[in-house]
Amino acid sequence: MFKIKKRIERPKPPVLYNVIEDYSEFDAPGNVTVCAMTLPEDVATHAKILSESYEVPLEEMASLLAAGGVYVYPQVGGVLTRGLFACRIDTTGSVPKQTWVLDLMQFAESEQLARARACSLAEAASEVFHRTLPDELKKKLEQKNLGLDYRTLDRAVAKGGDIKYIDFRKDWSPHFKRLCICRMED
């Protein structure tokens, strides 16, 4: 007698990024890892991972990913110990959604710039963050899809089309590292 085994199909874990470029060899604060996605964004999963990684409330993270803006970390014992988390969404759609974190010094510089120019904190944070990036990365950000040559990319990445969002990662929390490593090995 033969036993017929049922094949149980497990749902594939969501993929958060399919393009990762490391710029961590540069001096701080410009040392970042560019994590991008060409497939459609799974906002719920993206918000959950970023929320856990950056210690931002999930509801707040979901609204930031939907509408853009900044989250200023609260004071602890009357002292500000962390900077801010920012999400920039281009309304024209010509630039992919971008997220990043500013440290305390960059946050202070952003506040001063916002006051001096009478602009929003989000605009000032964007300018301060992009000013600190390595020149090589600045040039790539000016190009469509970071200047990637789709003829040389893996088909799974290329079939997604244009980059939908970019997360500039400075801190690789153990949880986030584990998720990225698991996704990359699949």
Query: Are 26 and 135 spatial neighbours (Cβ–Cβ below 8 Å)?
Result: no
Amino acid present at 39: L
Question: Tens digit of pLDDT for each residue in 10-44?
Answer: 776 667 788 888 887 877 777 888 888 888 888 99
H helices of the chain, in order, are: 43-54, 58-67, 104-117, 121-132, 135-142, 155-158, 174-185
Partner residues linked to 84 by β-bridges: 72, 102
Q: Using CA atoms, how far apart are residues 176 and 182, in angstroms rounded to an integer?
A: 10
pLDDT on residue 182: 47
Average pLDDT, the chain: 82
What is the pLDDT, as a whole number, of residue 77? 73
Instruction: Reply yes or no on whether the pLDDT at 180 is more than 60.
Output: no
CB within 8 Å of 50: residues ≥ 6 apart:
56, 61, 65, 85, 99, 167
Which pLDDT score is estimated for 56? 92
Tens of pLDDT, residues 40-69:
888 999 999 899 888 899 999 999 999 999
Find out whether the peptide bond into 29 is cis, omega within 30 degrees of 0: yes
The answer on pLDDT for 97 being more than 50 is yes
Query: How far apart are the C-alpha atoms of 112 and 110, rounded to whole Å?
Result: 5
154/179 Cα distance (integer angstroms) = 20
Residues 146-155 pLDDT 10s: 887 766 666 6
Name residue 101's beta-bridge partners.
Answer: 85
Indicate the domain borders of the chain: 19-73+80-185
Is pLDDT larger for residue 145 or for residue 90? 90
Confidence of residue 162 (pLDDT cuts 50, 70, 90): confident
Q: What's this model's pTM, rounded to 2 decimal places? A: 0.79
Evaluate if residue 133 carries a pLDDT over 70. Answer: yes
Torsion over CA: 91, 49, 39, 172 (sign):
positive
Torsions phi, psi of 19, nearest 5?
-130, 120
